Structure 1
Amino acid sequence: MALVLQGATFLHQYLGSLLHTHPSKSDTALKLGVLSSAQINPAAIIRPVETHPDVILYRIASRDASTAAKAAKQYHFAKSSGSYQELLDDPDVDIVYISTPNGLHYEWASKAIQAGKHVLCEKPFTANASEARALIDQAAQKGVIIEEAFHWQFHPAAHVFRQILEAGPHGQILRTEAIMTASPGVPKGDIRWQYDLAGGSAMDMTYALSFTRYALRAQRPRTVHSVTARRSAEDPRVDEAMYAYLTFADPSGHEVHSRIYTDMARDWVGGVVPRFWELPSIEVETEKAIIVFYNAMMPHLYHYIAVTDKTTGKTRYHRQYRGGPLWGSVLTSVGKGGQSHWSTYRWQLEAFVDAVRGKAPAYWIPGDESICQMECIDTMYQAAGLPVRGTNADKGD
């Protein structure tokens, strides 16, 4: 369940910061600027930077100077700014992490690019596909790196999951079913409920779509069979929950039926028990097996990849916290194969720094992938009869 996972990751990162020695920083370490004082910052970027020898916490910005100063003091940034633009105007900032509300991603990522900064931008990448295309084009023109922070894809467990799917003995993929919910639900008044800030379950819980496309190496859906949204009572443009039934094509052209379910206010069992066990996951049925990646969103906390043979009914479990198909032979900043206590965000930072330094990262999400992800989300909203985020649509009926 999404909110429980978020809290667990904050604790995981905090304890990791206390238990593991921080490395000395290199003389040429990249200087990080953080745009916004979002709650996700400690887990997503601050703690990971503490354990990376080639990045320092240099500057943090908020729209309120006192908030920025407080965060800088708490997390040991060298400087703070009372405006985002002031941070971008600092020539010493090398890389920028953007954790503003969804609807502001494009504006500030674009300004960061124009300022010559490399950008790590939280998911969803932008409010819509048009904005995503523009950012990728701008980054290419300026010669800077931009990456969508789909952190889970950088974790060794994700690579083992894909290896199992593509190894061959399980046959072709027939169907997928991905889910991400919040139970208890996202609190009312949260920015994720605001249409003008590109809120909605399909936006905030875009992981479920990401799990699906990653498993299939798919781009856009070949067929949209149905998309149904449960609208927010406060703003009918915002999807409280969305259920999509799509058909994608795998790299060989084989069609795969995919169901995707997101819910920011998942009902409780019997009205009294929150679904704490319902972690973001994907089930894949192949010709010969049922394969489940449980807790694909934050596998550093706990995960398993269960492979059940259809003929024998026997299940084998796989777990991977370091090394693996992609990281196993890589000499990371702290040793070969990385560290088992690293969070998904720390693996992501490792790859991001390598890319900025001109090295070939062990794993990377190309800009075209982020564009396709936003195109899929736009398509789902249109099929559900809801306005695409970032458009000036009036409130629905």
Structure 2
Amino acid sequence: MGAFLSLLIRCWTVDHPPEPPKSREAIRIGILGTGWIASRALITPAKSHPGVIIAAVASRDKTRAEAYARKFNIPITYGSYQDMLDDPAIDAVYNPLPNSEHYEWSMRAIKAGKHVLLEKPCVCNAHEAETLFNYHASLPTPRPVLLEAIHPRFHPAWSKFLSLVSGPHVEKVDVVFNAPSGLFPEGDIRWRYDLAGGALMDIGAYAISCLRDVFAAEPVRVESTAVRPSRWGDVDEGFKAGFRFPNGGVGFIDADIRKTSFWGLPGVSIPRVVVQQREMQVEVDGAVEGEIQTRARTVTIWGFPGAMYHHSIGVVDVNVRKRASDGQVLRRWTEKETKKAYVWEGKGTESGKEGEPYWSTYRHMLEQFVNRIKGRDGSGVWIDGEYSINQMKAIDSAYEKAGVAIRPTSSFKI
């Protein structure tokens, strides 16, 4: 009963966090556009951060910006994105615009000296990614902070999961991340090629990031793809792919933004990553001379995108003790363990690994964004320009293998 009550309290507090007073040195963030994702990804997480103020929202339609500001109690509105970038009172911007506008408005923001929290995928293709992040890297220091918002990577659950995996020994990974049919209705930006939509560009980006993190390497090639086109636009609503990695292992993704089940009803599945490792020799205490022990491990994380609400990390080890001389099996047994991580180990220490159980993946990400701006140590989790460039290279390679057009490059020039 206590565990269930704790679950309910945590889930409630994720979306209704405490609101401490803001510090005098708080970073003033402006939002580009009036999309719904900003509420979950920034506005709610910022409530519990004393060092962040949501100061402004900009829209090409001033009336829409004003309505959005009233809804979320945002003090300043602008009738154009550039007006917000030109305001010296704004320190940073959050860019959740359609994917096709990520490149231009992130470039403009950086040029204006603003820190940028950039929604994933960072841009439309690898060419844009290289141009954006190389331009950012070319600026003199101290330069504005630029971060691609792959939020699940910032939660301690993901780091705990990765600590249980040995990348060089991974044999197979399956990542499943589906959204039920009806979640994104006809007319949504995800169904438009010109706005760089599609399943792979949406939740597929998270799935590819998972593979790269688990293998701790970049894929060497795409071996297989299966694409289900959307009935509403010239994009993919379902995308499956298999990636080969340098150690010979293979990772599979199943990304679907219109999942159906029986009779066309919305399909529901829990996002998960399943890692199978090769059998490997392990050191054990009290080992008997002339015997060796091997272990084949499977690690599964359930619910990684929303780890703050509930997640589970399952570890299954198949152990075998053998005679070293001839490989004769002497004993075989299985060990199972379940783990969770809602706060960083060493919470509150000088390492900066703070956290509260109700902190969302986005709240953890915001913490590190602010830490980087302020020059403070943090959890150690970060996404640099090289990571984001390689992310887009992997997405482009999957589209190329599938014979699907890579998303179009912006005509904007800095």
* TM-score (norm: length of structure 2): 0.84
1:125 equivalenced with 2:122 (yes/no): yes
1:361 equivalenced with 2:378 (yes/no): yes
Match of 1:91 among 76, 79, 88: 88
Aligned equivalent of 2:291 = none
Higher strand share: 2
CA distance in 2, matches of 1:330, 1:128: 39
Q: 1:78 to 1:97 in 2, by over 3 A?
A: same
User: Is the 1:208–1:280 Cα contact (8 Å) retained in structure 2?
Assistant: no
What aligned pairs does 1:165-176 form with structure 2 within 5 A after superposition? Answer: 165-166=165-166, 172-176=169-173
Structure 1 residue 379: Cα displacement: 0.5
Q: Which runs of 5+ in 2 are unaligned?
A: 1-8, 279-295, 320-332
What aligned pairs does 1:298-337 form with structure 2 within 5 A after superposition? Answer: 298-311=306-319, 312-324=333-345, 329-330=349-350, 337=354
CA distance in 2, matches of 1:386, 1:45: 33
Q: Which runs of 5+ in 1 are unaligned?
A: 1-10, 393-397
CA distance in 1, matches of 2:180, 2:308: 21
The amino acid across from 2:267 in the alignment is R
Larger radius of gyration: 2
CA distance in 2, matches of 1:306, 1:137: 40
Structure 1 residue 21: Cα displacement: 2.9
1:186-230 deviation digits (Å, cap 9, x = unpaired): 3222110100000011000111111111111122x2132122211
Aligned equivalent of 2:260 = 267
CA distance in 2, matches of 1:267, 1:21: 38
Q: 1:303 to 1:330 in 2, by over 3 A?
A: farther
Structure 1 residue 267: Cα displacement: 2.1
Structure 1 residue 74: Cα displacement: 2.2
CA distance in 2, matches of 1:319, 1:374: 30
* TM-score (norm: length of structure 1): 0.87
CA distance in 1, matches of 2:128, 2:11: 32
Aligned equivalent of 1:290 = 298
User: Which has the larger displacement, 48-57 or 354-363?
Assistant: 354-363
Structure 1 residue 12: Cα displacement: 8.0
The amino acid across from 2:260 in the alignment is D
1:49 equivalenced with 2:67 (yes/no): no
Structure 1 residue 147: Cα displacement: 0.3
The amino acid across from 1:209 in the alignment is I
1:314-369 deviation digits (Å, cap 9, x = unpaired): 431111100138x674565xxx6311100000000000001011223321111100
1:150-202 deviation digits (Å, cap 9, x = unpaired): 11100000110111113x9xx82111011111222432221101000000110
What aligned pairs does 1:225-236 form with structure 2 within 5 A after superposition? Answer: 225-236=223-234
Percent identity of equivalent pairs = 36
**Cα RMSD between the aligned structures?**
2.1
1:258 equivalenced with 2:258 (yes/no): no
User: Which has the larger displacement, 301-310 or 114-123?
Assistant: 301-310
Structure 1 residue 295: Cα displacement: 1.2
Aligned equivalent of 1:203 = 201
CA distance in 1, matches of 2:207, 2:372: 26
User: Which has the larger displacement, 27-36 or 134-143?
Assistant: 134-143
Structure 1 residue 149: Cα displacement: 0.3
Provide the aligned length of Structure 1 versus Structure 2: 366
1:367-387 deviation digits (Å, cap 9, x = unpaired): 100000000000000110011
User: Is the 1:13–1:43 Cα contact (8 Å) retained in structure 2?
Assistant: no
